[in-house]
Each structure stands twice: as C-alpha cells, then as structure tokens.
Structure 1
Amino acid sequence: MLRKFNNSRTIKENIQLGSLTAFSAGMVNVTSVIIFFAFTSNVTGHYAILAEEVSKGNWYQAAVVFAWIFMFFAGNFCSNLIIINFNRINTYAAHAAPLTIEIICLLVVGTYGQFFYKETLNETEILVALMLFAMGIQNGLTASISNFSVKTTHLTGLTTDLGLLTSMFTKKEYRENKSLRARASVLFAIATSYLSGGIFAGIVYQQIGFMVFYIASLVIGIIICYEYYKIKIRKMVWNKKKKSLKYKTPVMSRP
C-alpha cells in the first residue's frame, strides 16, 4: 500500500489504501460532527461559512474558519512536501511519515478530549483545526502516491465520478473497459468504507466517547505496520534465496 508510487501502483493496492484511510476519515468526520458540530474531513462547507461570516462582518468567526481551511491546506502541503523530498531515499518511510503525523494528531485530540476537554469555544476551535490538519495530511498522502486517483476524506468528487461512470456503464463498450471497471471498484470501495466508518463511529462513540479517535489511529497504524511487515518478509525471503544460490554455485578449482 505504501511502497509504490503513482502509476506503478495496482488497483488492489489503491483499494486497500483507500478503504482503510476512508474508514478512518469517516470515523473522524462523524465523531467531530457529533461532538463539535463541525465537519473535519473536508472544507467545502467551510468556504460557504467563510463567505457568510465575511458578508456579515463577523471578522473573528471569519478568521477562525479561514484558519480551519488553512490547516487543511497545510496538511496537504506538508504531506506532499515530505513525499517529494524523501521518496527517492526511502519510499516506505516517505509515505509512512505523513500517516505517523496523522496518528499523533488524532491521539492528541482523543487524549485531550477524554481527559481535559472543558467544552470551551477556544478548545473546540483548536481541536477542530488539528483534525482538519490530520485529514489534510491523509488526503494529501493518498492523492499524491496514487497519482490523484485516491482521495479519501471527502466524497463530493467521488460521487460525481461514480455518477459519470454509472451512466457510461449503460453502454456495453464502457462496461467492457477494464480500466473504467477498476476505477469504479476503487471509488465504490472508498465510498462504502467511508460510510461504514461513520456508522461505526456513531455507534461506538455512545460507549467510549473521545476514545473513538484511538480506534481511528489504530486503523491508520495497521496500514503502516502491514507494509513494514511485508517489507521484512520480503527481505527474509530474499536473504534465503541469496544463501541458497551461494551454496548451489560451484566453486571453480584453480589450475
């Protein structure tokens, strides 16, 4: 999921990455709506609110919403900055680093909310900003390493693409197109996972509160650990092959 970049990725890898990250994004977004009455996995609505607050002359509220939008932007910026600068050095580390930062952000929100949150306006504004930064990082990572074919924190463009593909599939020539079917599979997997994550978070939040963010962090951690495990296994297999080839290669005797 994390070792390959852009066009070298397979459909299976995009589905795996998209499904797990979308599940986490759905959890974060629904939980933030329940607790803070604010969307944190996308900024479409925030742009509308920003325009409304500016038109009303509510400059403090406008500044807060602008800061939220900027935090989402900053998350995307930081994620891609890490990837483009370190991808050639170590692809796995360059792709895992943004997810690690996302996990830290979510753990901070979960821990602060569970043990210190007093439901003040300033606390809410800061926690929402931190979640938007985390979702920006996730969105930037998935979009960057998949050549913009996987975006998992918002479904507006995804729903549009699914609508277009569905209309195209009314014609046989498009239904037989493997690349279009593969694209539809990725989009459907992301949409289903995002919805499932939201439903799961809505149910679980009633029992564990802010600790939902720990589960969201665990889902992201699975991606990192799974890839690390695969790398270790590949190295073990490769080392065994090298040893077997070494023993099988005949030693040339000197004349």
Structure 2
Amino acid sequence: MISRLPKWVEYGAFILAFTAGSVNAIGLLGFEHQSVSHLSGTATLVGTQLLSSSPTVLFHLMGILVSFMFGATISGAFLSGSSLKLGRHYDTLLLIEAGLLLFAIDLLQDGTYYGHYMASAACGLQNALATTYSGAIVRTTHVTGIFTDLGIMLGGILKGEKFDKRKAVLFMLIIAGFISGGALGAYLFAKLQFFALLAPAAICIALAMSYRFYKALNRPKP
C-alpha cells in the first residue's frame, strides 16, 4: 500500500503528526493531563472511573471518547475509498480541523470542558483523514502502532525478509513529527497557554491552502 502512495505523502504525514503532537502536548499540559490525540489511556481511565463515585469525571472522559469518534465521523462523511485521489475534500477537512481547534481556544478561555471535546474531535477527524487514504497503514495522531509496525519489520529482517525502506522512512518521519510537535506544543503552552492551539490551527489552514493550490495546478485541462 505504501508503494502506491505519491512521494509527497511523507511530507504530509510528517506535518500532520507534528500538528497532532502539538495538540496532544497542549492537552497533557492544560487539559488536566488528559491526552486528546489518542484514546487508549482515556478508555482505561473510563474503566477505572466505573468503580468511582465521581460521575462527573466519568462523563467527561466519555465525552472525549465520543468527540474523537465524532471527528472521525466527519471525515467518513466527506471521504470514501481507501486510495489517495486528487480532488477529494482533504482541504475542507483540514479547514474544519482548524475551526475545531480555534473553537476549542474560545471554550477553554471561558473555562469550559467543552474545549477538550473540540480538540479531541479535531484529532479524530485528522486520524480518520489519514487512515482513509492509507488503508490504516498511516496513523498521524499516535505512534503506538508505528512503533509496533517497526518492530514487526525488524523481526522480519531476522527471518531474512526484505526490508521496506520507504515504509520505515515514513514511520520514522511520523515519529519525528509527533515528538517535535510535542516539543513545540509544550514551548508554546508555557508562553501562550491555550492560545498555543493557534499554531496547529494555522498549520492546518496552510496545509489546506497548499492542497488547493496543488489541486488547481494539476486540474485536467478541458
């Protein structure tokens, strides 16, 4: 599947992972140490809260889960198929993601938890966007699966299997993007608090405009 994707996908994956890493770092630092770009930890906390006497916390955690799925639903409504195809609404989805992040800033500044849900929805939308064009090979909002796949590839080398260098490079770029995005998110949060989400929102807008420009240049001539 990776070999069928255009070469510029690596750059897009890095930028998207950078964006998600930044949002997640801001979430960890500002949303009561709660991740929003992936749900494994949140789902575990939901399980622990089932035995707790604090329904408010439980409903908040479940809201993050549902919001992530809602964001993925938006991507599913706009996109179809598992192949990357010029002309699909990737730019529209990136602009929606930016809008969700900007809305999150407004809500968080007012001290409401609904801002957490907007940030989680933005990450769910992005993760589904990348999944629909990569056949679930590329996930940009978390790196657990990426490290797992790299481990499988290294194990294959021990059995004498051919090493897919392009896939390995793509995975390393996603990891590097997520980590470096986290560093930027932490730096900006220390300076700007929740206004740090302006940076990933701006990246989404810039990426959407770049895609529109590229699409216009490569539109078939009548």
Q: Same fold (TM over 0.5)?
A: yes
174, 196, 202: which one pairs with 2:162?
A: 174
Q: Per the alignment, do residues 210 and 62 of structure 1 end up closer, same or farther by CA in structure 2, a change over 3 Å counting?
A: closer
Q: Secondary structure of 1:55's match? A: coil
Name the counterpart of 1:144.
132
How many angstroms does 1:185 deviate by? 1.2
RMSD, matched Cα: 2.5
90, 98, 106: which one pairs with 2:93?
A: 98
1:136-192: CA deviations, max 9, x gaps? 0000000011221211101111111112222333465423xxxx2211111111000
Q: Secondary structure of 1:40's match? A: coil
**Hey, what's the Cα distance between the residues in 1 that align with 2:194 and 2:53?**
34
Is structure 2 residue 25 aligned with structure 1 residue 25? no
Name the counterpart of 1:184.
168
Mark the runs of 5 or more structure 1 residues left unpaired by the alignment.
Answer: 243-255
Alignment coverage as a number of residue pairs: 219
Name the counterpart of 1:15.
10
With the length of structure 1 as denominator, give the TM-score of the two structures: 0.77
Is structure 2 residue 213 aligned with structure 1 residue 218? no
How many angstroms does 1:95 deviate by? 2.0
Letter in 2 for 1:108: F
**Hey, what's the Cα distance between the residues in 2 that align with 1:202 and 1:92?**
35
**Hey, what's the Cα distance between the residues in 2 that align with 1:6 and 1:99?**
22
How many angstroms does 1:14 deviate by? 2.5
Indicate the structure with greater helix content: 1
How many angstroms does 1:209 deviate by? 2.6
Name the counterpart of 2:59.
63
**Hey, what's the Cα distance between the residues in 2 that align with 1:197 and 1:99?**
17
Letter in 2 for 1:138: Q
% identity of equivalent residues: 19
Q: Per the alignment, do residues 6 and 104 of structure 1 end up closer, same or farther by CA in structure 2, a change over 3 Å counting?
A: farther
1:85-105: CA deviations, max 9, x gaps? 9x9xx9535222221111101
How many angstroms does 1:66 deviate by? 1.4
How many angstroms does 1:61 deviate by? 2.2
Q: Per the alignment, do residues 98 and 6 of structure 1 end up closer, same or farther by CA in structure 2, a change over 3 Å counting?
A: farther
How many angstroms does 1:59 deviate by? 2.8
Contact 2:91–2:212 under 8 Å retained in 1 = no
Mark the runs of 5 or more structure 2 residues left unpaired by the alignment.
Answer: none
Contact 1:17–1:142 under 8 Å retained in 2 = no
Highest Rg: 1 or 2? 1
**Hey, what's the Cα distance between the residues in 1 that align with 2:36 and 2:60?**
14
With the length of structure 2 as denominator, give the TM-score of the two structures: 0.88
**Hey, what's the Cα distance between the residues in 2 that align with 1:60 and 1:205?**
26
Q: Per the alignment, do residues 109 and 20 of structure 1 end up closer, same or farther by CA in structure 2, a change over 3 Å counting?
A: same
